[in-house]
Amino acid sequence: MLMDIHLSGQREKAIHSLIDAGKFASAEAVIDEALRLITKVHQERCETVESAPSEENRRA
């Protein structure tokens, strides 16, 4: 599946700056890394919520 994404000028410049600095080979690589990090953060937040004591356990 192919998706077109429209970015603000500032976001597009940020992506090109990363590529020009040699940190990424392509815009696709930048987006892949961004999605990997978002997924990681989301999973960590879910794990934190799941491991947090419930309201009943906190009162005990």
Tell me the mean pLDDT per 10 residues along the chain, length 60.
92 97 97 96 86 64
Question: What is the model's pLDDT at position 48?
Answer: 82
Dihedral sign for Cα atoms in the order 34, 39, 44, 45: positive
- The parent domain of residue 40 ranges over 16-52
Give the predicted TM-score (pTM) of the model: 0.72
Asked whether residue 37 is assigned to any structural domain, the reply reads yes
State how far the Cα of 20 lies from the Cα of 22, in Å rounded to an integer. 5
20 domain-assigned: yes
Of the chain, the end-to-end C-alpha distance in Å amounts to 51
Residue 10 lies in a domain: no
Q: Is residue 32 part of a domain?
A: yes
Is residue 5 situated within a structural domain? no
Q: Report yes or no on 27 lying in a domain.
A: yes
- Return the DSSP state at 29: H
Q: Please tell me the total count of domains within the chain.
A: 1
Residue 6 within a domain: no
The pLDDT value given to residue 53: 72
The per-residue pLDDT for 57 is 59
**Residue 19: Cβ-neighbour burial (10 angstroms; 0-12, 13-18, 19+):** middle
Residue-level length of the chain: 60
